[in-house]
């Protein structure tokens, strides 16, 4: 990250105020053009170290379109009906390449495995026959009420419907690879026949199973893991990216690689360790009590020692020694040096644990705080999105609805930045203690990122709300619009650089050349800063 990057840009004016709104006299056609140019990219709110979006969010109609394209491709290349093409794809995990390779390598074997007829299928329906006997219930029914999967085994519509419905109820593994009811007959039942025979609700279930199998068997496609979300994501890895974070249209961000919540700038392994650590430290209060307190020997309630001597007085009235936990009148710690030494060792161990808990709690609280802030931001954003603000502002200010997209983009940027800040805390926790230079650089840029985000949040939470209430003139709205667009751009750029720097391990920091300020001072002058102050004071006298 270069020193001239947006991470080093000033985030306030010379007077220390926020980015100012321009006066009416300062507005020019040039500024209007700038706003239009800024809006070209404002839909890209994802905070990532990568500039190019490497995934596409798919709706149900998008998935069906891709599914139909694959079915049509197989049908055209292999000269088979769409029903047969669908069965071939189901058995080959919806891979067109696998179907073609297997088919042209050994067509006869593929037909046998999938359950396709080796020759032209026999008649499926028999409308011209007067009567036929069902091979299951043995009832004699008219020919128009008998069906066959193409193998010649005849069953009445009643038995077929029951067979198909039970298979759908059994789940996708059964109904998507359904075979003829005749024992030892491996001919598959096609989707068109299943749709004809299944009841209404089960048709929808079968269609859903078919759609889900297309996504779940595609290595480049996954469902969004957010509850009740029906979108899928198709991912295009390039082997270069440092993270696999994707953001669904429902605003949920997750990691493509591990399926957990998006956790850049952390890698999957570190994020997994952090989550497991939080689970193991969920009883942190108990750990703190065990480390920082001792039980009263009389009532067993925990007591914390703050300062002072070893005499402890419990609320129950019992007096005891902090070191040996004996009644104070019977304590001999002051005369027993061996006991003192043993207790000192225990205190050293307690101090180590206390320092560990204090360090962990510092980063955990930051992680939890930004997680809470992100949830609040998501709730506020949804309230704004569901308020019909575009139509409302369009009517108030006489503008087209697409001119207010910047509000949604700004809110999404706030949500995403809160997520990045959340996961930057465990990054600091896992920094090696010896790398002081990296820690200082990390903490500085984290504070700057918090400051930049705070300004954008104030803008969308407070300043924009006034306009959403319709209490300001259109001239001021145009100024604020320019401010929000620019502030969103600055915030996004800063966080992109912040994430990139952390993902690269803060490689621009010269650890080997770093010397803490106090150590450098002593090496150059031969005295510490405190000794230097005393010398200066003496010299002045």
List the structure tokens of 414. 């706030």
With H, G, I as helix, E, B as strand and everything else as coil, classify residue 288.
helix
The residues, any chain, with a CB within 8 Å of residue 213's CB and separated by 6 or more, are 90, 94, 172, 176
Specify the pLDDT at position 141.
83
Give CA–CA dist 198/70, Å, rounded. Answer: 25
Give CA–CA dist 20/15, Å, rounded. Answer: 10
Specify the pLDDT at position 85.
94
CA 59, 64, 69, 71 dihedral sign is positive
Angle at 385 between CA 379 and CA 386, to 5 degrees: 90
Specify the pLDDT at position 127.
55
Which of the two residues, 280 and 77, has the higher pLDDT score? 77
CA 376, 382, 388, 393 dihedral sign is positive
Average pLDDT in the 463-484 region?
Answer: 80
Of 195-199, 333-337, 367-371, which one has max mean pLDDT? 367-371
Of 159-168, 235-244, 399-408, which one has max mean pLDDT? 159-168
Catalytic residue among 137, 309, 314, 417: 309
Which of the two residues, 398 and 332, has the higher pLDDT score? 398
Specify the pLDDT at position 46.
57
Please indicate, yes or no, whether the overall pTM of this predicted structure exceeds 0.75.
no
pLDDT at 472 over 90: no
With H, G, I as helix, E, B as strand and everything else as coil, classify residue 221.
strand
Beta strand pairing call for 55-58 and 232-235: antiparallel
Asked if omega into 369 is within 30° of 0 (cis), the reply is no
List the structure tokens of 478. 């145009």
Domains of the chain: 6-49+360-512 (1.20.120), 284-349 (no CATH), 513-541 (no CATH)
Per residue in 60-98, pLDDT (tens digit) is 999 999 999 999 999 999 999 999 999 999 999 999 999
Q: Which of 117-126, 173-182, 328-337, 483-492 bottoms out in mean pLDDT, i.e. has the lowest?
A: 117-126
CA dihedral 205, 208, 214, 217 (to 10 degrees): -60
Of 196-200, 303-307, 410-414, 508-512, which one has max mean pLDDT? 410-414
The answer to whether the beta carbons of residues 504 and 455 sit under 8 Å apart is no
Q: Give me the DSSP letters along 29-98.
A: HHHHHHHHHHHHSTT-----S-SS--EEEE-HHHHHHHHHHHHHHHHHHHT--HHHHHHHHHHTTT-HHH
Judge whether 21 counts as a catalytic residue: no
Per residue in 95-114, pLDDT (tens digit) is 999 999 999 999 999 999 99
Average pLDDT in the 208-233 region?
Answer: 92
Average pLDDT in the 496-506 region?
Answer: 91
């Amino acid at each position: 990250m270069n020193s001239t990057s947006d991470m080093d840009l000033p985030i306030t004016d010379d007077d220390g105020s926020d980015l100012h709104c321009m006066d009416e006299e300062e507005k020019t056609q040039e500024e209007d053009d700038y706003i239009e140019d800024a809006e070209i990219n404002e839909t890209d709110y994802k905070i990532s170290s990568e500039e190019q979006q490497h995934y596409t969010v798919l709706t149900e109609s998008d998935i069906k379109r891709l599914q139909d394209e694959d079915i049509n491709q197989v049908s055209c290349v292999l000269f088979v009906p769409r029903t047969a093409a669908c069965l071939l794809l189901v058995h080959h995990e919806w891979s067109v390449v696998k179907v073609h390779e297997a088919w042209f390598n050994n067509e006869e074997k593929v037909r046998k495995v999938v359950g396709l007829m080796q020759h032209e299928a026999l008649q499926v329906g028999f409308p011209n026959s007067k009567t036929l006997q069902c091979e299951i219930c043995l009832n004699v029914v008219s020919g128009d009420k008998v069906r066959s999967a193409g193998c010649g085994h005849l069953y009445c519509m009643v038995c077929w419907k029951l067979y198909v419905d039970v298979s759908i109820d059994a789940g996708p593994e059964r109904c998507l690879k359904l075979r003829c009811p005749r024992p030892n007959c491996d001919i598959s039942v096609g989707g068109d026949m299943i749709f004809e025979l299944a009841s209404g609700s089960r048709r929808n279930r079968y269609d859903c199973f078919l759609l889900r199998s297309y996504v779940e068997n595609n290595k480049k496609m996954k469902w969004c893991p957010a509850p009740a979300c029906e979108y899928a994501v198709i991912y295009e890895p390039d082997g270069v990216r440092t993270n696999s974070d994707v953001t669904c249209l429902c605003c949920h961000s997750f990691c493509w690689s591990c399926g957990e919540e998006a956790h850049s700038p952390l890698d999957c392994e570190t994020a997994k360790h952090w989550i497991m650590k939080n689970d193991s430290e969920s009883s942190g209060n108990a750990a703190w009590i065990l480390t920082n307190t001792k039980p009263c020997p009389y009532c067993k309630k925990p007591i914390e020692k703050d300062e002072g001597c070893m005499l402890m007085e419990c609320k129950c009235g019992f007096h005891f020694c902090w070191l040996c936990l004996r009644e104070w009148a019977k304590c001999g710690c002051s005369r027993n040096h061996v006991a003192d030494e043993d207790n000192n060792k225990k205190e050293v161990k307690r101090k180590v644990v206390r320092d560990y808990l204090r360090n962990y709690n510092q980063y955990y609280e930051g992680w939890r705080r930004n997680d809470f802030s992100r949830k609040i931001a998501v709730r506020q954003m949804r309230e704004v999105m569901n308020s019909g603000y575009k139509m409302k502002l369009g009517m108030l200010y006489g503008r087209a609805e697409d001119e207010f997209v910047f509000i949604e983009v700004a809110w999404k940027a706030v949500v995403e930045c809160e997520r990045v800040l959340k996961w930057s805390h465990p990054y600091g926790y896992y920094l090696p203690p010896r790398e002081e230079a990296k820690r200082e650089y990390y903490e500085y840029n984290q504070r700057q990122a918090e400051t930049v985000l705070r300004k954008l949040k104030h803008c969308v939470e407070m300043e924009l709300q006034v306009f959403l209430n319709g209490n300001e003139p259109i001239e001021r709205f145009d100024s604020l619009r320019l401010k929000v667009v620019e502030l969103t751009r600055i915030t996004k750029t800063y966080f992109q650089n912040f994430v990139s720097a952390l993902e690269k391990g803060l490689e621009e920091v010269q650890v080997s050349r770093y010397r803490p300020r106090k150590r450098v001072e002593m090496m150059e002058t031969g005295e510490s800063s405190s000794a230097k102050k005393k010398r200066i004071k003496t010299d002045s006298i």
